[in-house]
Amino acid sequence: MTYSETVNSLYNLSDTELRSLNRKVCNLLKSRRLAASSAAAASGKFRVGDEVSFEGRGGYREYGKITKVKRIKVLVDTGDYRQWNVPMNMLRKES
């Protein structure tokens, strides 16, 4: 089944079937994000003091330094007295 066929078949589903499908898709996306974050944490990819960047809520790129590495997220100090709790899969190392 192609993508367009799948999308077209959604119109034949009832409200309860659509809600059930939505929950399954959301759970799948959440587990993939968690797996990506856990893999980054397990690999030891990020360490305190690393310079990193990430995309902020407004779509702008923030740059900062890691001050604490947690299990799934890291604390990034971007200066200006601001710290962000960022998932590891959203970070990119800067040289």
Confidence (pLDDT) at 71: 81
Tokens read off for 16: 């309860």
Q: Where are the alpha helices (DSSP H) in the chain?
A: 3-9, 15-42
The per-residue pLDDT for range 2-48, each reduced to its tens digit, is 999 999 999 999 999 999 999 999 999 988 887 876 666 666 788 89
- pTM of the predicted structure, to 2 decimals: 0.58
DSSP 95: -
Quick one: what percent of the chain has pLDDT higher than 90? 59
